[in-house]
Amino acid sequence: MMRPGILTTLETRTPLTRQGMWFVTVISLIVAFLVGWIVWYEKNEIIRNDRHRAELFARLLDDHAVRTLDVAALALADLSETVRASTEASGSRLRAPALQTVGSLTSIRSLALIDSSGLIVMSSREGEQDQRINLEMFGVLPVNDAPVLSRLIPVRYLEYLSSGRQPSAESLKIFALPLIRRVLTHDARTLYLVAMLNPDFFANFQAVALGESDFSAVLTSYTGDVIASYPQVLPLGTTLAGHLEIIDQLKPRAQGTYIGTGAGEGEQIVSVRTSRAWPLVSLVERPMSAVWNDWFRLLSWFVLVGALAFTVIIVMARIAWRSSREAARTKEEFIANISHELRTPLQSILGFSELGLMRTQEQPKVSEMFNDIHTSGQRMLTLVNDLLDISKIDSAFSEADFTRVDARQLVDEVEKELAPLLSARSVKLFKCMPDAPVMMLADAIRIHQVLRNVVANALKFSQAGQKIIVGLEMLSSDSLRFYVQDEGCGIPQKELEHIFEPFVQSSLTKDGSGGTGLGLAICRRIVHAHGGKIHAENIPAGGAIFYIELPLRSIAKTEHLQAQV
């Protein structure tokens, strides 16, 4: 036969164990959901950042290519005026300014003046003078004063196009990009000014712009011929496979970013810009495999932080199963210890990530990774703090320090603590309090926590230039009421009561401006433990107001709590 004492103990422990199992299940699901959501969010954030960086690189490279061709075209326009003003058929007056132009513009290898039969009348290279070339090598020739960008040709200089000279094997590995302008002389002859552009000039700028990142760049013509590439994604002179499909991705726009087929192998994040001034297409891309690698490296940190969170849940569940008062003391001691043990590795993660941020300012890619680690660590630290806080609220009041305190002093302390945040957000705080002291019996630290949470919550939804009013008024000789009024967006009517439940946030914070959803739940537990109540209302003119009603003197619940000490 079982002894009565043992039977009572078992009957008391059974429901608590069942509640503990529910607690473990629910909190584990919530933490798993939070970690999963953060992981999903960070993956999308990496993709968004890479798309944005690809767009910036593509715009930069396109602008550089357009400026280079514009400057070269302007130089040809100036030289054409010299040709028109010259009465000499040899064009000797053009040689000196041509040499000066080649010397000042590193994008131009050589300049030549060619007649309609292909005879080189003048060249910045002496070896090309009086040689004859086949003009059909250029493809389309200009028919008016507008310059024409020819197709890429596999020679360094025009002399290799001479019918009497065969290019060497080394010269076939070098390409040039002719820019041609038609010139009509005073005697109605048609001449062509040809600037042999260096494609490596574009590739060198691509290398400088992309730096040590794993982005790649390709500059092509409208027909897909590769003009420049970095790193050597495609050889010069080849045609970009599937370039029509890439262009189709942009229609009807001239530029855009997508995930799909690009110049490299496999799936890419591709940003494309089609120049309207010149027949050029700039592509910047990054392999999706590199994106996944970044995400997996970040995922390892989330696994570590998630493991810490699950450790908290398991440990707290074991504490919950111990229902006796000695068990309560052990719980309090353990919470204090585990708080330190959990915060210590998180603070280390935060500290090393901050150190990494300071030491990698000149390495944007590495610095961005440290920033993601630091942000994620801050989120998990906030979650751990709130979870630990809400779990020890009830037990903390068994040793609460109920003292007589002036309620006005608590408001003053909250104002001083939040002054930097109020100043940073350009929000004014006004106090409406009695002139005489309002003495109450309460745990000053906990009531200060309630006021601070509510005021900080109001500040979060306030815009610059708005104000927050914190008031204190007597309801009766035995009770008082704090109120916090803001001019923010208010609270949806159906959510006014639910916002005080754990892990519940207003639908107005779906953009990420909310926290863990525990702050107001903690406030309600503290207020209820004092024998008071807290609720919120919307203001017709805009904003919301929170009321916190508390007794002035010791009531039955407070006396009971103090009797347990």
Tell me whether residue 61 is in a domain: no
Phi, psi of 462 (to 5 degrees): -100, 145
Do residues 306 and 28 touch, judged by C-beta distance below 8 A?
no
Same domain, 418 and 534: yes
Which among 397, 430, 445 is the end of a domain? Answer: 397
Distances in whole angstroms, Cα of residue 356 to Cα of each of 130, 214, 353, 361, 364: 63, 21, 5, 9, 11
DSSP per-residue string spanning 411-441: HHHHHHHHHHHHHHHT-EEEEE--SS--EEE
| Residue 239 · residue 252 · CB < 8 Å | no
Residues 464 and 454: their CA atoms lie apart, in Å, by 18
The reply to whether 336 and 417 lie within a common domain is no
Residue at 56 is within a domain: no
Does residue 136 contact residue 116 with C-beta atoms inside 8 Å? no
Strand partners, 403: 442
Let me know if residue 4 belongs to a domain.
no
482: CATH: 3.30.565.10
**Is residue 5 situated within a structural domain?**
no
**Judgement on whether residues 353 and 392 belong to the same structural domain of the protein:** yes
Are residues 406 and 388 both part of a single domain?
no
What pLDDT tens digit does each residue of the chain (565 aa) get?
333 333 333 333 344 455 556 766 777 777 777 777 877 888 888 889 999 999 999 999 999 999 999 999 999 999 988 888 775 655 677 888 889 999 999 999 999 999 988 898 888 888 788 888 888 888 889 988 899 999 888 888 888 777 555 555 555 578 899 999 999 887 788 899 999 999 999 999 999 999 888 899 999 888 888 899 988 767 777 777 666 566 665 555 668 888 888 888 888 899 988 888 898 999 999 999 888 888 888 777 777 777 777 777 677 666 666 554 585 566 556 655 666 566 667 777 877 788 888 888 888 888 888 888 877 777 677 766 666 665 555 544 545 678 899 999 999 999 998 888 899 889 999 999 999 999 999 988 889 989 998 998 899 888 999 999 999 999 988 899 999 999 988 888 888 878 888 766 666 655 444 555 677 888 888 898 888 999 999 988 889 999 999 998 744 344 444 443 3
Phi, psi (rounded to 5 degrees) for 489: -85, -5
Tokens of 59: 């715009």
The residue behind tokens 């429901």 is: 15
Domain count, the chain: 4
* SS3 per residue for 178-225: EEEEEEECCCCCEEEEEEEECHHHHHHHHHHHHCCCCCEEEEEECCCE
The residues pairing with 180 across neighbouring beta strands, listed in sequence order, are 148, 194
Residues 267 and 254 in one domain: yes
The pLDDT value recorded for residue 398 is: 46
Quickly list H helices, 86-198: 92-104
Q: Which residue has the tokens 């392999």?
A: 287
- 161 and 219 in a single domain? The answer is no
**Residue 10 placed within a domain:** no
Q: What is the CA radius of gyration of the chain?
A: 37
Residue 496 structure tokens = 């006014």
Token pair for residue 227? 């003009």
Q: Both 383 and 406 in a single domain?
A: no
Q: Is 99 in the same domain as 173?
A: yes
Domain CATH code at residue 221: 3.30.450.20
Asked whether residue 25 falls in the same domain as residue 86, the answer is no
Cα–Cα distances in angstroms (integers) from residue 138 to residues 149, 221, 367, 404, 470, in the given order:
9, 14, 48, 95, 79
Whether residue 383 is found in the same domain as residue 428: no
- List the domain range (segments joined by +) for residue 129: 69-195
pLDDT of residue 402: 83
Tokens 């297409």 — which residue?
A: 281
Q: Which 3 state secondary structure label does DSSP give 535?
A: strand
Q: Are residues 392 and 441 in the same domain?
A: no
> At which of 195, 218, 235 does a domain end?
195
User: Angle 444-460/407-425 helices, nearest 10 degrees?
Assistant: 30
- Against a cut of 0.75, is the pTM above it? no
Question: Considering the domain boundaries, does residue 60 fall inside one?
Answer: no
Domain endpoint, select from 345, 366, 397: 397
Q: What are phi and psi of 433, to 5 degrees?
A: -135, 155
Residue 62 lies in a domain: no
- Same domain flag for 451 and 472: yes
| Cα–Cα distance measured from residue 194 to residue 83, given in angstroms and rounded to the nearest whole number | 13
* CA 41/CA 335 separation, integer angstroms: 31
Q: Is residue 1, in this structure, part of any structural domain at all?
A: no
* CA-closest candidate to residue 475, choices 552, 555, 557, 405: 552
Contact 537, 544 (CB under 8 A): yes
Please tell me the distance from the alpha carbon of residue 192 to that of residue 118, in angstroms, as a whole number.
Answer: 9
